[in-house]
Amino acid sequence: MLLRDGAGSSNGGGGGGGGGEWLRPMDAEQLRECGHRMVDFVADYYKSIEAFPVLSQVQPGYLKELLPDSAPRQPDTLDSLFDDIRQKIIPGVTHWQSPNYFAYYPSNSSTAGFLGEMLSAAFNIVGFNWITSPAATELEVIVLDWFAKMLKLPSQFLSTALGGGVIQGTASEAVLVALLAARDRALRKHGKESLEKLVVYVSDQTHSAVQKACQIAGIFPENIRVIIADCNRNYAVAPEAVSEDLSRDLASGLIPVFICGTVGTTSSSAVDPLPELGQIAKAHDMWFHIDAAYAGSACICPEYRHHLNGVEEADSFNMNAHKWFLTNFDCSLLWVKDRSFLIQSLSTNPEFLKNKASQANSVVDFKDWQIPLGRRFRSLKLWMVLRLYGVENLQSYIRKHIHLAEHFEHLLSSDSRFEVKENENQYVFGTI
């Protein structure tokens, strides 16, 4: 029991509420004992993870049958909790970290990322502004600058220039804040009443996160242009198709405001033509966002960096370290070229908003770069991944995955039951 024995007794333990024991939620020795047991439990889980069916076999509502319908009045033991985890929870878990898991995105846990999560849980800060934990803000600024250099992002995206990076929970939050900044920049230019005229351009391969962001940001649904991607360009969008829609919109008096290019689309890893999209955005004073949520990690390898060519024209760029960078969920990295646009949309401090000079001179308050107020110390896990593995090992890890994909292709093409259709860099396979 995570309780202190004997406290709250009649000779003045205090605060026990009449019972013989009282809650000691942060006893270091209890944590040591229970924490060791939990780490052992997790290590054993990882050791035997291949034995579990990757996809949970339970039916909806299964857990309601197994657990009581109200919280326990009295404390339970850690042993009985472990029993329930084994018998009732694990059967309902889909084992994302299993080597047999091939859905969605790669298994992405790592010892370094795990340790970073542990430390972040230990400090348990709510680092919304600088003073709430200077190290959290400053480490995030430093690590995102390191990462921007690893990706060879243009220097404007660094904190030392007008831009900077911030860790969001997900790519969906990243694109939402980018869109809010774009929307407000346009409304300042064209007037608040022009909201109904703002148009957003995506392809039918763009992640639905952008559509959701439009819904939240008040972009009129009829003003979201979903351009059919070009199957002859590996399902990347054709810039000519974007220009056609854009000309039609301009002729109707609408205002193009935001375009999203993807590096590594969710369905087929297609890469949109960033330089051309960037030129279009520039010519029409639109915000250009690049979503590299999944594939961006590969661009730390020099041989894949060319997929980011064109990022020079982007206003914002996002990639998820929690997808392919050994950093436990959640850790989505967003860089902007001019942070003042984000802050103008997301800060609630009118004085700060009025005065650009005070923005430039003040410390970073990341609450003004995101939707929620509170934020976790996420940079710790990314810092630990970078420090404990090093860039060279991380590059090798990504290369290994790409070689495995090539090996998989080889196995398929040498097996008569499968047909691999090659379309430049992209492969579609099916049973014959």
The residues of the shown chain that bind ligand PLP, judged by CB under 6 A, are 170-172, 207, 209, 262, 265-266, 291, 293-294, 320, 332
Cβ of residue 188: shortest distance to ligand PLP, in angstroms? 28
Q: How far is the CB of 118 from ligand PLP (least distance, A)?
A: 22
C-beta closer to ligand PLP: residue 156 or 318: 318
The least distance separating ligand PLP from the CB of residue 160, rounded to whole angstroms, comes to: 27
C-alpha to C-alpha distance for 31 and 25, rounded to whole angstroms: 9
Nearest to ligand PLP of 172, 297 (CB atom): 172
Minimum CB distance to ligand PLP smaller for 184 or for 330: 330
| Residue for token pair 């819904």 | 215
Q: How far is the CB of 207 from ligand PLP (least distance, A)?
A: 3
Q: How many Å apart are CA 409 and CA 389, to the nearest integer?
A: 29
CB 341 within 8 A of CB 184: yes
Closest distance of CB 333 from ligand PLP, Å: 11
CB 39 to ligand PLP: min, Å = 28
Amino acid symbol at 30: Q
Closer residue to ligand PLP, CB minimum distance, 203 or 265 = 265
Looking at beta carbons only, is 171 or 386 nearer to ligand PLP?
Answer: 171
Give CA–CA dist 331/333, Å, rounded: 6
Q: How far is the CB of 298 from ligand PLP (least distance, A)?
A: 13
Q: Which is nearer to ligand PLP, 103 or 251 (CB)?
A: 103
Task: List the one residue out of 277, 239, 235 whose CA is nearest residue 258.
Answer: 277
Residue 102, CA distances (Å) to 97, 125, 210, 291, 354 in order: 10, 35, 25, 22, 50
Cβ-contact 166, 159 below 8 angstroms: no
Kindly state the smallest distance separating residue 73's Cβ from ligand PLP, in Å: 38
Q: What is d(CA 5, CA 20) in angstroms, rounded to the nearest whole number? A: 7
CB of 91 to ligand PLP, least distance (A): 25
C-beta closer to ligand PLP: residue 208 or 362: 208
Q: How far is CA 80 from CA 64, 87, 96, in A?
A: 18, 10, 25
Handedness of CA 408, 55, 330, 268 (dihedral sign): positive
Select from 147, 132, 135, 245 the least CA-distant residue to 199.
Answer: 245
Distance CA 337, CA 316 (A): 6
Query: Between 130 and 317, whose beta carbon lies closer to ligand PLP?
Result: 317
CB of 103 to ligand PLP, least distance (A): 11
Residue with tokens 């060519």: 309
Residues 6 or more apart whose CB falls under 8 angstroms from that of 236 comprise: 203, 205, 229, 230, 265, 270, 271, 272, 273
Strands 426-431, 418-423: pairing kind:
antiparallel
Q: Which is nearer to ligand PLP, 171 or 246 (CB)?
A: 171
What kind and span of H or E run contains 199? strand 198-203
Cβ proximity to ligand PLP: between 1 and 228 the closer is 228
Quick one: 91 exposed, middle or buried, by C-beta within 10 A (0-12, 13-18, 19+)?
A: middle
